[in-house]
Amino acid sequence: MTISGKDYWSDKTASYLSAIEGPYHANRLQMVEALLSELSLAGKNCLDFGCGDGVFVERLLEDGATVSGVDVDSAMIHAAQSRLLGRWKDTKLACGGVEHLSELPGNSFDCLFALNVLAYLNPKEEATFYQQAQRLLREGGALVVTHSNELFDMFTLNRYTANFFGKHFSIAAEECNVRDLLVHPDVPDRYVFGVRENPLAYRYKLKSYGFSETRQEFAILHSLPPLLTPSIDFDDIDSRKYPETVGWPEAQRWKLMFMCSVFGSISSRKN
């Protein structure tokens, strides 16, 4: 079954808006702030694709940027308008998905943000997003995105681990049924969106679309595989604390690639 991003967010808007101020989203924002340290936003023209309720649009405006926001869900756009009304009345907000990007003028943005949104695109929409991002950004412009971390599947020791080995290590999978090595190979029983990225390989996807990755950061660290932390309610994302991941020693940062379920990337548009 395929679930569109629009259908998903039509059902999830209310719960998202109630959780946006919690520790889960705060931890992801710390990751994004670390990526923003690479940029000078004052006077820059920015596009926030998947802007939600406008909380990040407001953050960019406070740094002196000019910002346009796009979101597929009309309720999110209304929430963003309410947030920005008065103080930032000239901010352009539009309801639409990747198809809306083709309506915007090329080479018109210095920065394009897609935070916590690409996972909800299907493969065709994802390809369109990168093509449009390359068209919309000026040479040297910054693309800042966040992703679900596919390498985290190797750390979960559950159904995702078995699927990861089956997808990426087919020869080994033929010789050894990884599911037989796992205590709980059939959990969790929940839908996972298709667009998830491997932080080790993501730079090559970016390169194929005309971008050069310059930095990655990580968020939502799990000290142990989820099945070894039964006291945590993973359906309640604000029920636990999230350790800081920015500033880890360089020699230890490789662990974040496996222990964090989310990563962020900043890249520049090549000529």
Mean pLDDT across the stretch 206-217?
98
Position 13 scores a pLDDT of: 46
Mean pLDDT across the stretch 33-50?
96
Question: Which one is predicted more confidently, 230 or 262?
Answer: 262
- The CA-to-CA distance between both ends of the chain, in Å, stands at 39
Biggest distance spanned by C-alpha atoms of the chain = 64
- Whether 42 and 67 have beta carbons less than 8 Å apart is answered as no
What Cα–Cα distance (Å) separates residue 11 from each residue in 6, 15, 75, 146, 158?
9, 9, 11, 22, 27
- Check whether 173 has a pLDDT greater than 80: no
Q: How far apart are CA 206 and CA 184, in angstroms?
A: 35
Phi–psi pair at 65, nearest 5 degrees:
-85, 155
Mean pLDDT across the stretch 65-90?
93
Q: Tell me the average pLDDT of the chain.
A: 84
Question: Which one is predicted more confidently, 230 or 126?
Answer: 126
- Work out the pLDDT band at 232, boundaries 50, 70, 90: low
Q: How far apart are CA 89 and CA 68, in angstroms?
A: 12
Task: Indicate the class that CATH gives domain 5-269.
Answer: alpha beta
Q: Domain-by-domain residue ranges, the chain?
A: 5-269
Position 174 scores a pLDDT of: 56
Query: What type of residue is 267?
Result: S
Q: How far apart are CA 194 and CA 120, in angstroms?
A: 8
- Check whether 71 has a pLDDT greater than 70: yes
Q: What is the pTM of this model?
A: 0.82
CA dihedral 242, 247, 252, 253 (to 10 degrees): 80
Q: Structure tokens of 73?
A: 């869900």
Query: What type of residue is 141?
Result: G
Q: How far apart are CA 256 and CA 217, in angstroms?
A: 9
SS (H, E, C) the chain: CCCCHHHHHHHHHHHHHHHCCCHHHHHHHHHHHHHHCCCCCCCCEEEEECCCCCHHHHHHHHCCCEEEEEECCHHHHHHHHHHHCCCCCCCEEEECCHHHHCCCCCCCEEEEEECCCHHHCCHHHHHHHHHHHHHHEEEEEEEEEEEEEHHHHHHHCCHHHHHHHHHHCHHHHHHCCHHHHCCCCCCCCCCCCCCCECCCCHHHHHHHCCEEEEEEEEEEECCCCHHHCCCCCCCCCCCCCCCCCCCCCHHHHHHHHHHEEEEEEEEEECC
Position 152 scores a pLDDT of: 84
- Check whether 192 has a pLDDT greater than 60: no
Position 212 scores a pLDDT of: 98
- Check whether 172 has a pLDDT greater than 70: no
